Amino acid sequence: MPVLELNNISKRFGNLLANENISLALDAGEIVALLGENGAGKTTLMNILFGHYSADEGWIKVNGEILPNHTEAAINAGIGMVHQHFTLADNLSVMENIVLGTESLFAWRQDRAKASKRLENLSHEFGLEIDAQKQVSELTVGERQRVEILKAIYRDVKILILDEPTAVLTPQETEKLFSSLKDLSKKGLTIIFITHKLHEILSVTDRVAVLRRGKLVGEVLTKEADKNILSEMMVGHKVSYPSKKNQQYGDIVVELDNISTVGEKGESSVQLHNITLQVRSHQILGIVGVSGNGQLQLARLLSGMIQHNSGTMNLFGNTIEKNSPLSMIRQGVARIPEDRHTEGIVGEMKLWENLIGERLSLNQMTHFGCCIDKKSAIQHSEQLIDDFDIRCSGTNAQANLLSGGNIQKLILARTLTQNPGFIVANQPVRGLDEGSIAYVQTQLMDARNRGAGILLISTDIDELLTMCDDLMVMCDGYISKVFKAESKSISEIGLMMAGQLGTDNTSIN
């Protein structure tokens, strides 16, 4: 008998059919990947399973028993969920985070000895070693991931949902996590694994279930699949990825020499320390590192959003003393921000209004430099929507109603048509499906081949090895020396991401 059965699950939100007659069964000890494009219905289906939503049609059984439609019932049935963004209290210890909510409100005191012993036994049993007395604020992201999984196991989960569990892990931490997941499955834990990284699915899962437009379109045993098969199942057609061809580098477009910054008020305290790098025409320079190690500050510096307080910054041969987003756009810099929703678009504005932003900055599409030439703006936007295949209801559609992939296409259409000499691309394919990833990467590779210099920031080493000519690693605001993308193994790069940059924190031995 399957440990979990979903039978003909359907869910509507107004006119949107998010899930349509989805049936899926999982056995004890299976690791099953749930794969699909953005908007395919994965999150809705998991929210129904975990009791956040009620299905309009269909039913769920756990160990043969019908599961009521509420979260408490899901938890009591042994279902646990580890979200992509950790839900831990930094000011509490590991043990306090794990036992929080598991003891009666009427208990006189916490039985710390009993809880500590149980946690120690679970840590040993499942290979999730952690210092239970350590404060969460002192843990690495890999250790925090272990705490989240232990928190679920402590509650006797039988079915564990993992949503993008490796998003902030180094390769070494990812490898440890996968080893732990395999051990957990051998002990009978059923795992639902949600990720956009196909190589991870191929390395850790037993079976893959693919959703497309709210429907379950197929299942395949992992041992019988490869990246091309999974990509085609996701999008319904073959996916063509760009190929990197050797190019002769041109002139230097951007040069930073011993650049340092002051931490931004109200944000991460990470500062840039003595950053030295060059980006040339016809080059993609990749910046890799665990999220939160200064990549965002570097992207903001090169987009004109923050200033440097020491060192020298040159753009197209000119020294930049004080920059701004407007001045950078006018000098030929294109920006693809990490947060496409809050920094890439004005969500409440229409598509055509978003698509002409850069042109307005250059005093184009206006009458006498003041009033917008709406007729030209709409004609221009219609052309961009067609050229970049932006799926929408028209130029008057509200931007925040687009999917993540189509928002990214909007940003590419707005920026790349200006034929920029330098592109700052920060996590340009994060959270996108394979079809959208291939499209975005093709656009960037075409821009590089036309002569742009590109700084590509990502936490995904495989993406960078595929796209980049050269790489640098960031850790705690410092940067490594540049090296050829193919000159180091993923393991070596992972060690650099973890802080082994060398004795002076600026270079690897």
Q: If you write DSSP's letter for every residue of 161-189 in order, what string do you get?
A: EEESTTTT--HHHHHHHHHHHHHHHHTT-
CATH placement of domain 252-332+420-497: 3.40.50.300
Q: What is the pLDDT along the chain (509 residues), one digit of tens a residue?
A: 899 999 999 999 887 788 999 999 999 999 999 998 767 888 889 989 988 889 999 999 999 999 998 888 998 899 988 876 677 888 888 888 888 766 554 444 556 777 788 888 877 776 677 888 888 888 776 678 788 888 888 888 899 998 878 766 777 778 888 888 898 899 899 999 988 778 889 999 999 999 988 899 999 999 999 988 998 888 888 888 888 888 899 999 999 999 998 765 544 457 899 999 999 999 999 999 887 788 989 999 999 989 998 999 999 999 998 888 888 988 999 999 988 888 888 888 888 888 887 776 666 666 655 677 788 888 888 999 988 888 888 888 888 888 777 888 899 888 888 889 999 999 888 777 777 888 889 999 999 999 999 999 998 888 899 899 999 999 989 999 999 988 988 888 888 887 775 434 444 33
Residue 456 CA to residue 277 CA, distance in Å, equals 13
Same CATH fold assignment for domains 4-235 and 252-332+420-497: yes
Residue 222 CA to residue 208 CA, distance in Å, equals 6
* pLDDT in the model for residue 509: 35
303 three-class SS: coil
* pLDDT in the model for residue 369: 59
User: CA of 461: how far to CAs of 83, 323, 458, 497, in Å?
Assistant: 22, 31, 7, 10
- Residues in contact with 183: Cβ distance below 8 Å, sequence separation at least 6, in sequence order: 126, 127
CA 165 from centroid of its chain's CA atoms: 10
Domain edges within the chain: 4-235, 252-332+420-497
> Contact at 8 Å (CB) between 268 and 338?
no
* pLDDT in the model for residue 438: 87
Torsion of CA 417, 418, 423, 428, to 10 degrees: -30
CA 300 from centroid of its chain's CA atoms: 18
CA 427 from centroid of its chain's CA atoms: 7
* pLDDT in the model for residue 507: 42
Give the residue ranges of DSSP H helices in 356-401. 357-361, 374-387
Residue 155 CA to residue 158 CA, distance in Å, equals 9
Give, rounded to a whole angstrom, the gap between the first and last alpha carbons of the chain. Answer: 55
Half-sphere exposure of 477 (CA within 13 A, CB side): 14
Residue 420 CA to residue 415 CA, distance in Å, equals 7
Residue 497 — φ and ψ, nearest 5°? -60, -30
Look at the block and give the residue holding tokens 């950053």: 275
Half-sphere exposure of 117 (CA within 13 A, CB side): 3
Look at the block and give the residue holding tokens 């509200």: 398
Fold of 4-235: Rossmann fold (3.40.50)
What is the reported pTM? Answer: 0.73
59 three-class SS: strand
